[in-house]
Amino acid sequence: MYPDRVVSGMRPTGALHLGHYHGALKNWVKLQAELPCLFFVADWHALTTHYDDPSIIEASTWDMLVDWLAAGVDPSQATIFIQSRVPEHAELHLLLSMATPLGWLERVPTYKDQQEKLTDKDLATYGFLGYPLLQAADVLIYRANLVPVGDDQVPHVEMMREVARRFNHLYGKEKGFELKAQDAVKKLGSKRAKLYQELRTQFQEKGDADALEQAKAMLDDAQNLSMIDRERLFGYLEGSRKLILVEPQAKLTDASRLPGLDGQKMSKSYGNAIALREDKESVTKKLRTMPTDPARIRRTDVGDPERCPVWKLHQVYSSVEVRDWVVQGCKSAGIGCIECKQPVIDMILQEQEPMRERAQIYLDDPSLLRAIVADGCDKARKLAHETMRDVREAMGLAYGD
Ligand code: TRP
Ligand code: SF4
In a domain, 212, yes or no: yes
> How far is ligand 1, taken at its centre, from the CA of residue 310, in Å?
31
In a domain, 318, yes or no: yes
Q: Which domain holds residue 334?
A: 277-363
Nearest CA to ligand 2 atom 6: 293
pLDDT, one tens digit per residue, over 273-316 is 999 999 999 999 999 999 999 999 999 999 999 999 999 999 99
Distance CA 140, CA 312 (A): 38
Are 376 and 345 members of one domain? Answer: no
State the DSSP string of 163-208. HHHHHHHHH---TTHHHHHHHHHHTT-HHHHHHHHHHHHHHHHH--
Across the range 117-137, mean pLDDT stands at: 94
In a domain, 141, yes or no: yes
Across the range 8-13, mean pLDDT stands at: 96
Atom of ligand 2 nearest to the CA of 311: 7
pLDDT for 256 equals 67
Distance CA 242, CA 394 (A): 10
Q: Is the CB of 61 under 6 A from ligand 1?
A: no
Give ∠ CA 218-388-3 in degrees, rounded to 5: 30
Are 143 and 42 members of one domain? Answer: yes
Are 284 and 146 members of one domain? Answer: no
pLDDT, one tens digit per residue, over 190-215 is 999 999 999 999 988 888 889 999 99
Distance CA 133, CA 159 (A): 8
Are 116 and 156 members of one domain? Answer: yes
Are 150 and 189 members of one domain? Answer: no
In a domain, 112, yes or no: yes
CATH of the domain at 304: 1.10.240.10
* pLDDT grade for 91, boundaries at 50, 70 and 90: very high
pLDDT, one tens digit per residue, over 148-164 is 998 889 999 999 999 99
pLDDT for 85 equals 98
| Probe residue for ligand 2, chosen from 289, 300, 310, 325 as the CB with the greatest number of ligand atoms within 8 Å | 310
Are 42 and 72 members of one domain? Answer: yes
Are 15 and 142 members of one domain? Answer: yes
Are 210 and 348 members of one domain? Answer: no
Taken in order 186, 189, 195, 196, the sign of the CA dihedral is: negative
SS (H, E, C) 309-331: HHHHHHHHHCCHHHHHHHHHHHH
AA letter at 161: R
Least confident of 201-205, 338-342, 359-363: 201-205
As for how many domains the chain has, the answer is 3
Atom of ligand 1 nearest to the CA of 138: 12
pLDDT for 381 equals 98
Residue 135: CA atoms inside 13 Å, Cβ hemisphere, count? 30
Q: Is the CB of 326 under 6 A from ligand 2?
A: yes
Distance CA 316, CA 107 (A): 35
Pair 286, 204: CB distance under 8 Å: no
**238, 265, 289 - which closes a domain:** 238
Across the range 19-30, mean pLDDT stands at: 95
In a domain, 106, yes or no: yes
Q: Is the CB of 260 under 6 A from ligand 1?
A: no
Q: Give the SS3 label for residue 258.
A: coil
* pLDDT grade for 1, boundaries at 50, 70 and 90: low
pLDDT for 171 equals 93
pLDDT, one tens digit per residue, over 214-273 is 999 999 888 888 888 888 898 898 877 788 999 999 998 766 689 999 999 999 989 999
CATH of the domain at 43: 3.40.50.620
Q: Is the CB of 147 under 6 A from ligand 1?
A: yes
Dihedrals φ, ψ of 124, to 5°?
A: -85, 55
Dihedrals φ, ψ of 52, to 5°?
A: -90, -5
Count Cβ atoms within 10 A of the Cβ of residue 383 and give its class: 0-12 exposed, 13-18 middle, 19 or more buried. Answer: buried
Strand partners, 41: 10, 82
AA letter at 53: D
Taken in order 333, 339, 341, 347, the sign of the CA dihedral is: negative
Mean pLDDT of the chain: 94
Ligand nearest to the CA of 322: 2
In a domain, 263, yes or no: no
Are 100 and 151 members of one domain? Answer: yes
pLDDT for 222 equals 86
Q: Give the SS3 label for residue 158.
A: helix
Are 230 and 304 members of one domain? Answer: no
Distances (CA, A) of 186 to 71, 235, 276, 367: 50, 16, 57, 53
In a domain, 146, yes or no: yes
Are 214 and 332 members of one domain? Answer: no
Are 347 and 382 members of one domain? Answer: no
Atom of ligand 2 nearest to the CA of 309: 1
Nearest CA to ligand 1 atom 6: 9
In a domain, 244, yes or no: no
- Does the pLDDT at position 318 exceed 90? yes
